[in-house]
Structures are given as C-alpha cells and as structure tokens.
C-alpha cells in the first residue's frame, strides 16, 4: 500500500476552487498544505501518488443521510452507511434526526447517537437535530452540543416518533431558530394538498405520482417562505423534486428571505417515465417526476439556484420496500418511501452532468463545496485549498461501470440504478490524508458545528 498516506498527490486534472488544471497537492498532518504546478514537488518513494489522468477532487460532503442507528439498525447503520459513503467518494456525511430511535430531538437523543456511532465511522460524521411539536426548549441546548441545524416536516414523516409541525409549531420553531441563529431544514409537502390528492394503491407509478402532486410542494414552500419572512429565520428546502417551486424561491430571495435549496441525484438522473410497474426501489417522497420537470431542475442547477446536490439516502429493509424481486407486492402506496444509493451519487450525477455539457468543477460545487458551505464547514471541508482537511477522491471521469446491487456497501443493497451503466469510477478515497481502506479500521471523526461549545470533544471517534 505505497500511497496510503502520500505527502504529494499529482494529477493532470486537479479540481481546484477556480477550476480544473494539472497540479501537485501537498499534504501535511492530514491537511492540504498547498498546491503547486504539476510535477514541481518532490517526494520520497511511497510518498508520491501520481494519478496520471485520473481526476483529483475534494471528497463529497453529503448533508442528507438517514443512518437509522440505533433503533432501526436493520435498515441502515453507521458502519454500512459510512462504508458506502467512502466507496462513493463521500468523505463527510451529516446524519438526519429521524428513523433512528430515539430521534435526535433532545440532548439525550444526540448523546445516544454519538455513542452508537463510536468507532464505526469510515468517514467524518455530523448530526442534524430535529424540531418537532413540543421541543422548542430543546433546540438551543442541542445547538450548543454541535448539531448543524434542525429538520422539520410539514407533512407526516413516515415514522410516528417524529411528528410533523402544523402552522403554529412551524412558527414557534422558526422563531426560536432565528433567535439562536440556527439553520432550519424543511421537508416541504403540504398535508392538506396530499390528503386531497387521489390515493390509488397498486403497482403503477403514475398512480403514486398523482398521490404526491407538485402542488403539495409548492403549497408547503409558500407557507414556509411566509413563516421565514415573518420570523427572519434562515431556511433550507430539502430535496426539491418539483421545478414548480423554483420561481417561489427566486421571488423570496429577491424579497430578502434567507432561503437555500437542495435537490438529489435521483431527481436529476431518473424520471417517472422510466419507473417500471412495481419498481418500488424508485419510491421516495417527494417523488421522482417527469422528464420535462427534470430539465427544469437542471436549468436551475446550472443557474446556481441549488446550494447542494445530496443523496437523501433513506434505506429500509427490502421487505418494507415490497420489492417484487423479494416476493413483495410492488404496491407503491404501501412501500417505504426512500432512495438508497449514497455510494452512487457522484457517478450518477456526473453521467448526466457530462451529457448536458457540465464539467467536474460544477459537480464539485454542487456536491462538495456547496453542501460544506451550507453547514458552515467552508474552510475545513469541500475544497482542495490550503488549510482544508485532505479529504480527497481519485475519480476516473472517463471510465464506466454497470451498477450491481452486490457491489454496494449499504446494509440492504437495494437501488433504483441497478442495471444502469454509469460514467465515472471512484478509485481511491482519502480522509484527512489517509487512504480509506475498507479492509482495515475506520478512522472517521464526529464533527460538531463550528463555533459550538459541546461537552464532548470534536475528535471523538
């Protein structure tokens, strides 16, 4: 393993903050010490990793991952989720506050999660808190403990222990988050629009799509923006699937509302027209919509309207997905809603981005520096620049592979990408300068929000 801890990584395609060029990257004590012209640095044998034409990029920062441990560890756990992350070039994840039991809605709940994650993380790991009905008093203590912000649902979340907020609850949560300076991250679908939509069970995707109309997203975002305007809270719209919300976000920004948004690889690369009958691996909420909607998302992405492209990795056991290939009914209405493909986000997005004329620097902005900035990790994560952690990925943008579930590291390797050919192969992932070797031991660290004052040290593994 000669390159397990190189001091110089050389590539003819280094993706730097100002674009891609040939360069040498100098690493010292797990951090990027600087960059220099290609071939100009000297290093001892075994200390130089020359990638040739394979690109060197900052590791991805995935701020939307549902790990589910403890409590639903059979769905997904810290070890398997972070192995999948590392294999996919993701070097930092931020875990969502729900689907684990307990959810991360109290300081005690956070402590339980942190203990569960100890010595299991193959990549660096931070935590979101949750804002649910009745826990306004818990938000400030949680924030001091280092959560990166608070997630709320405007419609039922799918799990009973994480209820959604009604109008008054949203108002209270956003007012408190404005006061403490936290970022509110919101699942925006409107429950009354959902309740009025036709609910037709069965294996046909078009029926499921009709049950989660674009109007539910637009109505919820409208309500969210009104509340953000009144309270002054900083809000982030999670997993935008409908292009119909984009004009609302644009108008609100023009009005001075502090709002950002993200979308996900599956909304950018899959489309309703491709979902087979019973293809519940494709089920997520909000849903994957049609091809023309997808073009609208790409247009917004190209215009810089999305801060981040993140996975929303949300697995369950195959039986809950009701997958026909596992003997399930394939009923979209009853299946668990969640896409599980953390490991595939980079090649999936790159495949489609390249086809649409984008370059690797765009992907880095969407999947590394953008999400790092969202959670205040600019300066530490998400860029190849002096002083940043040497979280790096060697990515061959010209090679390709066929997706097989057996090659995936997440606990229940179900994926809607099965059988697709994707462009771009992750060769090596380095975390703080050290190669992540899935046959050795994990050395990921638990992160806290910068400037927080946690009782636990930030480098507890």
Residues of the shown chain interacting with Zn ion in the complex, contacts defined by CB under 5 A: 312
CB-based contact 435:59 (threshold 8 Å): no
Per DSSP, the chain holds a count of helices (H) and strands (E) of 14, 17
End-to-end C-alpha distance for the chain, whole angstroms: 24
Residue 24 or residue 312: which is nearer to Zn ion going by CB? Answer: 312
SS (H, E, C) 57-91: EECEEEEEECCCCCCCCCCCCHHHHHHHHHHCCEE
Consecutive H or E run containing 320: helix 318-321
Q: How many residues does the chain have?
A: 461
Question: What phi and psi, each to the nearest 5 degrees, are found at residue 125?
Answer: -145, 125
In 3D space, the residue among 342, 281, 291 whose CA is nearest the CA of residue 316 turns out to be: 281
Residue nearest to Zn ion (CB): 312
Residue 68 or residue 428: which is nearer to Zn ion going by CB? Answer: 68
Minimum CB separation from Zn ion for residue 338, in Å?
A: 7
Minimum CB separation from Zn ion for residue 312, in Å?
A: 4
Residue 231 or residue 412: which is nearer to Zn ion going by CB? Answer: 412
Minimum CB separation from Zn ion for residue 337, in Å?
A: 10
Residue 59 or residue 315: which is nearer to Zn ion going by CB? Answer: 315
Residue 11 or residue 157: which is nearer to Zn ion going by CB? Answer: 157
Residue 98 or residue 448: which is nearer to Zn ion going by CB? Answer: 98
- Give 90's strand partners: 60
Minimum CB separation from Zn ion for residue 81, in Å?
A: 13
Residue 289 or residue 432: which is nearer to Zn ion going by CB? Answer: 289
Minimum CB separation from Zn ion for residue 10, in Å?
A: 38
Task: Look at residue 273 and give its three-state secondary structure.
Answer: helix
- Ramachandran class of 350: left when φ > 0, alpha when ψ lies in -120 to 50, beta otherwise: alpha
Minimum CB separation from Zn ion for residue 14, in Å?
A: 32
For 108-128, the DSSP string reads HHHHHHHHHHTTT-SSEEEE-
Minimum CB separation from Zn ion for residue 96, in Å?
A: 5
């Amino acid at each position: 393993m000669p390159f397990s801890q190189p001091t110089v990584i050389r590539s003819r395609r280094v993706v730097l903050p100002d674009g891609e060029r040939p360069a040498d990257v100098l690493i010292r004590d797990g951090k990027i010490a600087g960059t220099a012209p290609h071939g100009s640095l000297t290093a001892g044998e075994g200390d130089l990793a020359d990638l040739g034409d394979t690109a060197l990029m900052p590791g991805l920062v995935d701020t939307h991952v549902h790990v589910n441990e403890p409590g639903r560890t059979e769905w997904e756990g810290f070890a398997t989720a972070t192995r999948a992350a590392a294999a996919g070039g993701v070097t930092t994840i931020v875990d969502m506050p729900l689907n684990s039991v307990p959810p991360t809605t109290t300081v005690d709940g956070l402590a339980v999660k942190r203990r569960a994650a100890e010595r299991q993380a193959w990549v660096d790991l931070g935590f979101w808190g949750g804002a649910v009905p009745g826990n306004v008093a818990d938000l400030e203590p949680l924030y001091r403990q280092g959560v990166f912000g608070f997630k709320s649902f405007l419609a039922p979340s799918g799990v009973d222990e994480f209820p959604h907020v009604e109008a008054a609850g949203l108002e209270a949560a956003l007012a408190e988050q404005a006061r403490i300076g936290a970022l509110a991250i919101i699942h925006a679908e409107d429950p009354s629009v959902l309740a009025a939509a036709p609910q037709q069970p069965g294996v046909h995707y078009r029926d499921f799509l009709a049950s989660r109309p674009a109007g539910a997203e637009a109505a919820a975002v409208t309500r969210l923006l009104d509340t953000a305007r009144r309270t002054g809270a900083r809000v982030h719209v999670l997993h935008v699937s409908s292009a119909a919300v984009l004009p609302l976000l644009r108008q609100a920004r023009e009005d001075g509302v502090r709002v950002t948004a993200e979308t996900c690889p599956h909304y950018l690369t899959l489309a309703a027209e491709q979902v087979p009958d019973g293809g519940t691996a494709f089920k997520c909420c909000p849903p994957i919509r049609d091809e023309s909607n997808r073009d609208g998302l790409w247009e917004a992405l190209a215009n810089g309207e999305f801060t981040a492209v993140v996975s929303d990795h949300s697995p369950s056991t195959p039986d809950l997905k009701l997958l026909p290939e596992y003997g399930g009914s394939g009923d979209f209405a009853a299946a668990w809603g969640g896409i599980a493909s953390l490991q595939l986000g980079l090649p999936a997005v790159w495949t489609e981005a390249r086809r649409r004329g984008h370059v690797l620097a765009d992907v880095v902005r969407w999947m590394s520096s953008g999400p790092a900035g969202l959670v205040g990790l600019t300066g530490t994560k998400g860029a190849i620049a002096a002083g940043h952690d040497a979280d790096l990925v060697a990515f061959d943008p010209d090679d390709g592979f066929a997706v097989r579930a057996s090659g995936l590291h997440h606990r229940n390797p179900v994926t809607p990408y099965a059988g697709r050919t994707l462009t771009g192969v992750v060769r090596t992932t380095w975390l703080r300068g050290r190669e992540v070797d899935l046959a050795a031991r994990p050395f990921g660290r638990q992160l806290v929000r910068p400037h927080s004052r946690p009782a636990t040290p930030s480098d507890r593994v």
